[in-house]
């Protein structure tokens, strides 16, 4: 297992094991000294040898690794209790997935190994994903124990180290790369970018070195960093989030140029220009539940599997309102006035590539159902119907600065109008106003 | 932690620890013999004492339990990293739950500790539930590793023992009761029934000794046993299930007498009278995914929390079609022709208790919004409107044997008609017919 750990910390069990190993070594050398001292007395030789061999045995017992499952070279569909992949390979026999074993070729990057990211990592590990890249800078705390995955004996370890410990025990076939860093810092972002570009796992892969990025972070700044990297690399990603009151969440598919990016429609609270961190006041923490986070992680990884293995439909956006068991869906086109320059570049490329996409789609359709006739399907066009493209209608030339694409509305006045309103009406650091904004934001998120 | 283990098996790590302990004891007694032998030579006394104290130290290290979090007497909302309940108590500050700490008074029984049940148990444990009763007779296999919860080092342990090991490490505050038994056997059912009736955890509780039963089993026979027990005890339960192709699932709320019981509308494949076990042919296994099972467990426990702590709406039925991210809901009234005698008894009681329910609801409404007027709201009744009860309309006296209550239709001919059709038309052990039935069943389940 290739494991790039930036730094390494040990938990209490590991410290105890190291101390025991040292003590056993000392014991053996003490016994050797005693043997030398007792050479003149032959009656002591036999009991000393017996003690020595017992200490050797104890040292072996202490050294023994806990039983781990061995690596599996090829995934097999054989139905035996000892096959960790039988229930997954059965997806082929059931007609759900065409080639399940392809999962071993894929690399998925998970940013944020918290309540959602850690569970997503475990699900992908148990599914036998080829390679996982894990990013987090935080440490495990007892306050995290109300979510799945981390254990109390891991308190104090970095989340990345604890995750690698647990995941490599669960499935040694998965290649784990652990990055203990903050992607919102300059250095962290640089390392993050180059890790995504690294193609050594699958050199012939098109695009970046990973197949999908999962954003499982808990703040806007980190989401914007994921967004920036993915826009720059033209990297498809899935965003996820859980509300501060723990009872709703969402996942969203972002394909640079094709769908809205995270900067295309910023959340209300962020558009207000208030630093999000001032919302996290002293002595106040967000609520969280293992249920909501487990459901969001499940929906996230289910859509990851659908995306990678090509079955079912990947949801562009899926919300989860747990109070009413309501699951809203929607679709968001990119914003031609997006503030993110890389997003605008990807939008332009997407429009330019339309003829090539159409030709490819046509060729694929023809290959699947070859027509026996050479001529066009409809010889005459008595109603004079012609096909007009969506993209041509809302192309760059028809865009005015106040026009948003279909389906996007301004939840707020424009930034300038908002700035004027704020200066003339209310101070931005008023707590009641912030609570109000938060409630509005949640209403929108859970709508 | 009260833990009633029926039988006990050890995993490889535990065997190694026991062997080490024994060897260290032997070593100490060997050292004592050597000390006695070497009494005549004073030069050996000091090195022997040193060796002896080193062995004592090693024995202490070996005995040391892995660091576990200590029990917490009262749940606190204090926002510190060391508080395992801060994020849950925050649900009160957020206005979601009125009194979160009440969770410690509740007992939940989980039948089936597989892909759904084990994750449900972990979620409730992390939420700090008062008491969990766990039922399963199966052992952990490597073939289970594609679902969350169990670890490869637990292979060979019973699922109940492995669950108690993991859950008690995660949260020592939860009272765990483990029942390694098959509830579909006569003895197993009897123990199951008496465990549900036991009120020692909360002697003043109304009804049975548990607040909710979660059915997380994978076959019809076990569901019917849960149904039987719950109908007899008038015990509310939540049923859950995942399809054999791993891509859909459901949860369902069953309140004896008030909603349909599991026998009120038996699944198609079961109504066919074919033994379900013949469907599980040699060399064939159902597919399963950690995602689908994680989502179903999350929805199940979220509805458990809503039911116990009184927030949001508990879903009567919630489906999950993962291919389309579609979540169907429905509601099922009890079947007055249900084959389950206990169900009919509960239905009768429910109808008889209607006046008392109405009076209680009226009293509660009046207490909440006391009217200043003493007289009736509408003095005259010029349209001669009178209130007629649903239950009176479909009460026992108006029921003919072919009339089903509103919303229930016969998916199949009646049992007699079906029997005749089977005898005259097709043999029941035809594989193609079974496949057909299975597909129809799935279509209904995922509809």
How far is Cα A319 from Cα A247, in angstroms, rounded to an integer? 11
Specify the pLDDT at position B411.
41
Nearest to A169 among B54, B151, B292 (CB): B151
Average pLDDT score over residue span B402-418: 42
- Rounded to two decimals, the pTM is 0.77
Three-state secondary structure string covering A212-259? EEEECCCCHHHHHHHHHHHHHHCCCEEEEEECCCCCEEEEEEECCCCC
**Predicted local confidence at residue A44, as pLDDT:** 86
**pLDDT band at B34; cut points 50, 70, 90:** confident
Beta carbons of B58 and A24 less than 8 Å apart: yes
SS3 B208: coil
Three-state secondary structure along B31-79? HHHHHHHCCCCHHHHHHHHHHHHHHHHHHHHHHCCCCCCCCCCCCCCCC
**β partners of residue A179:** A135
Asked whether the beta carbons of residue B68 and residue A294 sit closer than 8 angstroms, the reply is no
Q: Kindly report the average pLDDT of chain B as a whole number.
A: 82
Residue B285 CA to residue A91 CA, distance in Å, equals 10
Instruction: Choose, from A9, A202, A261, A285, the residue flagged as catalytic.
Output: A285
Separation between Cα atoms, residue A347 and residue A345, nearest integer Å? 5
Residues of chain A with Cβ-Cβ distance to B43 below 8 Å are 37
Give percent of chain B with pLDDT exceeding 90.
57
Q: Specify the range with the lowest mean pLDDT, choosing from B66-70, B157-161, B171-175.
A: B66-70
B298:A301 CB<8 A: no
Which residues of chain A have a pLDDT value below 70?
1-14, 64-67, 266-283, 370-447
CB A84 to CB B145 under 8 A? yes
Residue A239 near residue A254 (C-beta atoms within 8 A): yes
pLDDT value of residue B252: 96
Instruction: Please give, rounded to a whole number of angstroms, the shortest distance from the CA of A175 to a CA of chain B.
Output: 17
Contact B44 A27 (CB under 8 A): no
What pLDDT score was predicted for residue A337? 94
A127 is a catalytic site residue: no
Closest CA relative to residue B322, chosen from A331, A96, A243, A308: A96
Across all residues in chain A, what is the average pLDDT? 82
ipTM of the complex: 0.77
Q: How far is B98 from chain A (nearest CA, A)?
A: 13
User: How many CB atoms are located within 10 Å of the residue B153 CB?
Assistant: 20
For chains A and B, count residue pairs whose Cβ atoms are closer than 8 Å: 326
Q: What is the structure's pLDDT at B396? A: 37
- pLDDT at position B44, please? 87
- pLDDT of res. A64: 66
Q: What is the pLDDT of residue B404?
A: 43
Which one is predicted more confidently, B404 or B354? B354
Candidate from A235-239, B192-196, B237-241, B383-387 with smallest mean pLDDT? B383-387
What is residue A144's predicted lDDT score, i.e. its pLDDT?
Answer: 95
pLDDT at res. A283: 63
- The answer to whether the CB atoms of B285 and A324 lie below 8 A apart is no
Instruction: Tell me what pLDDT residue B245 has.
Output: 94
Helix (H, G, I), strand (E, B) or coil at A355: helix
* Most B CBs within 10 Å, among A48, A50, A115, A145, to test the B interface: A145
Residues of B known to be catalytic: 285
Average confidence (pLDDT) over B1-10:
45
Say what the pLDDT of residue A42 is.
Answer: 85
Model pLDDT for residues B308-335, shown as the tens digit of each residue: 999 999 999 999 999 999 999 999 999 9
pLDDT at B43: 86
pLDDT of res. A434 = 47
Chain A partners within 8 Å of B286 (Cβ): 87, 90
Supply the pLDDT for residue B65.
62
Q: In terms of pLDDT, which residue wins out, A395 or B377?
A: B377
State the distance between the two ends of chain A, measured CA to CA, in whole angstroms.
Answer: 44
């Amino acid at each position: 297992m290739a494991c790039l750990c930036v730094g390494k910390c040990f938990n209490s069990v590991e410290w105890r094991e190291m101390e025991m190993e040292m003590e056993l070594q000392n014991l053996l050398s003490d016994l050797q000294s005693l043997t030398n001292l007792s050479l003149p007395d032959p009656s002591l030789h036999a009991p000393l040898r017996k003690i020595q061999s017992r200490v050797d045995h104890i040292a072996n017992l202490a050294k023994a690794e806990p039983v781990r499952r061995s690596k599996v070279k090829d995934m097999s569909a054989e139905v035996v209790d000892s096959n960790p992949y039988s229930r997954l390979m059965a997806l082929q026999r059931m007609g759900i997935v065409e080639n399940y074993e392809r999962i071993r070729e894929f690399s998925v990057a998970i940013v944020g190994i918290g309540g959602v990211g850690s569970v997503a990592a475990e699900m992908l590990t148990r599914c036998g994903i080829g390679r996982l890249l894990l990013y987090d800078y935080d440490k495990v705390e007892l306050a995290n124990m109300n979510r799945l995955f981390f254990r109390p004996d891991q308190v104090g370890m970095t989340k990345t180290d604890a995750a690698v410990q647990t995941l490599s025990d669960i499935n040694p076939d998965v290649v784990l790369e652990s990055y203990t860093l903050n992607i919102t810092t300059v250095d962290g972002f640089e390392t993050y970018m180059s890790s995504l570009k690294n193609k050594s796992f699958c050199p012939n892969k098109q695009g970046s070195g990973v197949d999908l990025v999962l954003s499982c972070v808990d703040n806007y700044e980190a989401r914007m960093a994921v967004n920036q990297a993915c826009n720059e690399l033209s990297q498809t990603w899935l965003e996820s989030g859980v509300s501060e009151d723990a009872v709703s969440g969402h996942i969203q598919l972002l394909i640079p140029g094709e769908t809205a990016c995270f900067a295309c429609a910023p959340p209300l609270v962020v558009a207000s220009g208030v630093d999000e961190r001032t919302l996290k006041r002293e002595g106040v923490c967000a609520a969280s539940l293992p249920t909501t986070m487990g459901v969001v992680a499940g929906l996230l990884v289910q859509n990851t599997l659908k995306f990678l293995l090509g079955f079912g439909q990947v949801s562009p956006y899926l919300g989860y309102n747990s109070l009413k068991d309501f699951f809203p869906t929607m679709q968001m086109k990119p914003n031609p006035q997006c503030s993110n320059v890389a997003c605008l570049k990807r939008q332009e490329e997407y429009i330019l590539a339309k003829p090539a996409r159409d030709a490819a789609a046509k060729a694929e359709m023809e290959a699947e159902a070859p027509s026996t006739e050479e001529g066009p399907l409809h010889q005459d066009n008595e109603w004079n119907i012609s096909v007009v493209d969506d993209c041509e209608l809302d192309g760059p030339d028809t865009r005015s600065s106040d026009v948003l694409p279909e389906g996007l509305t301004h939840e707020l006045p424009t930034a300038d109008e908002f700035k004027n309103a704020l200066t003339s009406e209310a101070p931005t650091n008023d707590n009641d106003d912030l609570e109000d904004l938060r409630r509005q934001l949640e209403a929108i998120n859970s709508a």
